[in-house]
Amino acid sequence: MAKHYEALQRAEAERRRKIVGEPAVVAPTEWDTTPASAPVRKSGVLRRIFSFGEKATGTKETANEINKRRITILQPESVASEQFRTLRGRIDSLATQQTLKTVAVVSANSDEGKSMASINLAVVTSMSVGKKVLLVDCDLRRPTIHTSLGVEPVVGLGEVLSGDAQLEEAIVKVDNANMDVLLVRSRPSNPSELLASDAMREVIERVASLYDQIILDTPACLGLPDAKIISEFSDGVVLVVRAAVTPKQDVETVLEILDQRRILGLLLNGVEPGPSSSGPY
């Protein structure tokens, strides 16, 4: 767990710097190479993503803010896009040690950059030659993927899980990106029950047979069972932590809730570029 707490300390340092002007001291990240067979995986910070993420205020997003969630499509040569390529590379490296076909992206609370990370990780993964990628919006309560990608589905995950639509009807291709998406159209009254159903397990198993990589965007972990349910269907979990926003105790609680054997690492989001964040990552 040492790597987890190093990540939390970085987030706390960034929080203090923004509140009281204290400089953040952030050491270069180091990837842990604990074998996949270890009883509990020691995970490190997968990647630091600079200044890109969802709003933490709950207010309506502007077009510019929505565009940040698809930066790898709009600006594939940007610094942020390169950060996500490195994240993809580190996950690919882990995939040589264990099966990582389905990766869930989670966060403690809403508006911490989880959907931004899911979208951009899926986009850069789809850039790999010959790789079929599917991004699944598993947030049946507060879906955002369709807005971010500008796709309005005819049917979505809820209809598939309730038996009102076939999986093939709900999967659509994204313009300007070599990937497919399974989105949310309607918001059912029983989201947790649908996500925990045999139908959801069958959907995951089916898409895993059709695609090389599946990225699962989940609801916020705290206060809801949904993220834990989805994580149990996944091969690995990336936990997004927003610097200066996500409380340390909330991250610690998430690490207690989720199966730590599935956690690949923490992604520290929203770190502002500066002298303290320069250097190799």
Give Cα 11 to chain centroid, integer Å: 17
Helices (H), the chain: 2-20, 63-68, 71-74, 79-95, 114-126, 145-149, 157-161, 167-170, 191-195, 198-210, 226-232, 248-257
Per DSSP, the three-state class of 171 is: strand
Domain count, the chain: 1
In a domain, 184, yes or no: yes
In a domain, 204, yes or no: yes
Mean pLDDT across the stretch 129-148?
A: 93
Model pLDDT, residue 25: 29
For residue 171, the domain's CATH number is 3.40.50.300
Residue 97 CB partners (closer than 8 Å, separation 6+): 35, 36
Per DSSP, the three-state class of 278 is: coil
In a domain, 198, yes or no: yes
Task: Quickly state the pLDDT bin for 75 (edges 50, 70, 90).
Answer: low
DSSP 8-class letter at 47: E
Residue-averaged pLDDT of the chain: 79
In a domain, 255, yes or no: yes
Domain extent, residue 266, equals 2-13+66-273
Task: Quickly state the pLDDT bin for 250 (edges 50, 70, 90).
Answer: very high
Q: How many Å apart are CA 188 and CA 199, to the nearest integer? A: 15
In a domain, 29, yes or no: no
In a domain, 76, yes or no: yes
